[in-house]
Structure 1
Amino acid sequence: MTQRAQGFWQWGSLCRIGLYVAALLCGVALWGIPALALPQGDAITDPRTLLRRALPISETKLLEVDEAISKIDADLKYNRWSAVRGDVRQVEHLLDRHGDSLLASLPPDRVTPASEQMAALREQLRVIGQASERKSKGKEEARAAYDRLVDELGSLENNWVGAFPYTVPAEYADKPQLLGRAEVELNTTAGRMVITLDGYSAPLTAGNFADLVQRGFYDGLTFDRVETFFLAQAGDPPGPADGYVDPATGKIRTIPMEIRAKGEVMPRYGQTFDQMGLWDVEPALPFSAEGTVAMARYPDDPNSASSQFFIFMAEPDLTPAGLNLMDGRYAVFGYVTEGTEVLRHIKVGDRILSARLISGQDNLKTGA
């Protein structure tokens, strides 16, 4: 195991202990319930919702619809059937109230697809409402309809995404950049996953990963660290180097720490949130979803990430955004959006058979 992996392993173990200790303490001190009982919490744990919230969209009416739809998820999770029906009615009301003005705000070529997507939203809302009348007997149908609803919502919101909203600092012009979104298909000996990369929140980190995927760097590499219910880590190449060696320089290519704060347009670079004194700031991409993907690094150097990455799989209710030991300390650049169940089967020694970009290739810009 390399020094980079060893250092991260030690810090990660402390993080894992901290997460569970915090959960136990919260169970006693905050909720007044037995320590081993988990609070339900209200952290956003759906990676699709987290990715939508990170889009550079300022249309408040659309965000209001998004917020209302997200409430359905929590109420379905805890079998609050009357609340689910109330949520459905609220979303339908918002679509009635804002639908025409939202469509009017779009360029002409986007109006028809957006109108069709709104109609698809209404259809899935109808299914959820009817299924919730049957309570637990209709839960599976309601959950399937909600998944379709969220997919349609993501497609709808993309109509309001314009040009990339900022310029990456010139000092990083030599690094690959992902100026938008992309998807990576990761085929492993444990199964297939799809990772959605978010270049809006982490253009350098996502760009570095996408560039290495395009180079075939990850093909054949093993998962050399797996901790059950915590994370799976890969990306350490064979040989003495513990990162990607750039053939142009003969040196390991590293990228700076890059974390975007929630509500801000562009990321902050070079330091962790702790180092910047941002104690109560949430990142745009938090560690609150199973399948969070982030870069490994040396514990004492926030700018040492190269090729090693990890996929977080801790219980989301233990890691609400801004209240865990990972947010603001590691650069998240995407989420597993298909095949999350594969994470429960990965073990040390499993290999990445292939990694390839299946969308967003045009958003990847190589370094100057």
Structure 2
Amino acid sequence: MRFHFLSPLFLCSSSIVAPVASFAPRVPAPTASNHGRTSSQIYAKNPTETHSVDHSKTIDSVKNALSGVALATVLWTAPASFAGATHFSSFINDQVVASSVASAKEMASGTGSRVNKDPESLLRYGLPINNKEVRELQKNIESIRLNVSSKRKTSALDDLKKARSIVNTKESKMTSSCRDPNVCSSIIQSMKDKMGPLEESLQASTNYMNGSDQEREALDKSYVTQDKIQKDLTALEEQMVPAGYVTPVPSDYNDLPQLQGRATVEMVLKKPNGEPFDIEGTLSKEAKMTMVIDGYAAPVTAGNFVDLVQKGFYNNMDIQRSDGFVVQTGDPKGEAEGYVGTPSKAVGAGKHGERLIPLEIFVTGDKGPFYETTIEDEGRGGQATVLPFSSYGAMGWAREEYEPNSGSSQFFWLLFDSDLTPAGKNVLDGRYPCFGYVVEGADFLRDIKEGDVIVSAKVTDGAEKLVQPK
């Protein structure tokens, strides 16, 4: 059983429609033993009183919202404003890293009115690190990429100048945050070595006419070099995660798999009739996607997914939904509507013995995720989540609409669109956990249809970070 999609309007939220879930994943209903935990919240640290939602009032509000076409248009197209600098992390005395408090308009996803759709950038901002110099470096390096793609050559050169100044004058401040300063020094040197060729290709692009083959060649070379620098940047920031850092999870969930860090998963899909995937005229016999699964932001959700991948649960499974908004899978054949396994004592089992997991939401500024309740139920609507649904191919965990602890094995890829699902203004952030992004091959999602088959899913990196229940 799968999501029941209602209308594009439900992908957006405001003070009127925010409490309403946009999707209704038709996954196992909870048994009597775990029903009623909807209003019970469990935090990684300080538990607080929960807030319930009167769904009858919610429905009335939605009806009011639907009466205005103009309102719908505003909700679909309202711009979101972001301030990347507010996402800088800070250490807590007990060595738990928490990012600063931010509203939905101050998410980690970019600056100004621009929405950050880059999954690798979002993953970098989601790292539990505390170094303002590297965040400033990140802002400038990523800005080079945006300026190259829009042919703002002078701006790209200016960003490069700022980035070079940071690596030349603030190296010691960055390496002081690293687990191994020597490793970080080598990474920074690698970045410096690439900045010279990047400047040369950017300067060369300014010497040619707009639209010429020579300009395109110089910009392509710049883009490739900048991408290599970004990969160095990722390696540098990953070195800044404190040694032994683990996102705190309540002991209630110790009988569920947990991912302590990040893992990489590769999936290969084929069409059942042997036809190729067609992406804007480019044909491929198979679709191959690489995903980074984030146990920093969603240790229980990510752990459950990686555990199922390692068990081969998704191998030879059909895609069960593809409607232009999401691509979804994870519902096995037979009466069970999820993975049948040892249930968690905290949330129980589904009606067919499905292993259920709790809803897991990590808000920017908190020390760890909270569980079994939505951001709206907590009265925190509008606050930013550590990983936002603002990238094409963002991965979310499916569940029953009004039961937070009903997720088992179904998940979806969001086909992000800044108009229909604007970051900070959709009803996914804080209501469904985002636990990773497609970082390679996301374009294949455009031609993945119901009935296409996941030939294989495997963990290619980070498998050792999966901790099984003791």
What letter is aligned with 1:185? E
Q: Within 5 Å, which residues of 2 pair with 1:141-160?
A: 141-160=221-240
Q: How far apart, CA to CA, are the structure 2 residues paired with 1:73 and 1:327?
A: 26
Structure 2 partner of 1:207: 303
Matches within 5 A, 1:1-368: 2=1, 5=2, 8-10=3-5, 14-16=9-11, 24-25=73-74, 41-107=113-179, 110-133=180-203, 134-135=205-206, 137=215, 138-162=218-242, 163-189=244-270, 190-228=286-324, 230-246=325-341, 251-316=353-418, 319-368=421-470
Report SS of the residue matched to 1:9.
coil
Distance 1:54 1:27, change over 3 A: closer
Looking at CA atoms only, which structure, 1 or 2, has the larger radius of gyration? 2
Cα distance in 2 for residues equivalent to 1:317 and 1:130: 37
The secondary structure found in structure 2 opposite 1:293 is strand
Where does structure 2 lack aligned partners over 5 or more consecutive residues?
14-21, 23-68, 81-111, 271-285, 344-348
- Cα pair 2:12 2:427 within 8 Å, conserved: no
Task: Give the Cα–Cα distance (whole angstroms) in 2 for the partners of residues 13 and 26 of structure 1.
Answer: 10
Which segments of 5 or more consecutive residues in structure 1 lack a partner in the other structure? 32-39
- TM-superposed deviation, 1:300: 0.9
Question: How big is each residue's C-alpha offset from its partner over 1:186-240, in whole Å with a ceiling of 9 and x where there is no partner?
Answer: 1111411111010000000000000001111111111110012x21101100011
4+ residue segments displaced more than 4 Å: 11-14, 16-24, 26-31, 247-250
For 2:267 and 2:176, locate their aligned partners in 1 and report how far apart those are by CA, in whole Å. Answer: 39
Counterpart in 1 of 2:49? Answer: none
Aligned length: 352
Q: 1:120 to 1:223 in 2, by over 3 A?
A: same
> 1:309 & 1:115 partners in 2: Cα distance?
39
Retained in 1: the 8 A contact 2:357–2:406?
Answer: yes
Is the alpha carbon distance of 1:320 and 1:83 closer, same or farther for their aligned partners in structure 2, counting shifts above 3 Å? farther
Q: TM-score, normalised by structure 2?
A: 0.70
Q: Is the 8 A contact 1:56 1:165 kept in 2?
A: no
More helix by share: 1
**Deviation for aligned residue 1:148:** 1.4
* Post-superposition offset of 1:241: 1.1
Q: Residue 318 of structure 1: CA displacement?
A: 5.1
Q: How far has the Cα of 1:82 moved from its partner? A: 1.2
SS at match of 2:316: coil
Q: CA deviation at 1:76?
A: 2.7
Counterparts of 1:115 and 1:89, CA distance in 2: 19
User: d(CA) in 2 for partners of 1:101 and 1:29?
Assistant: 39
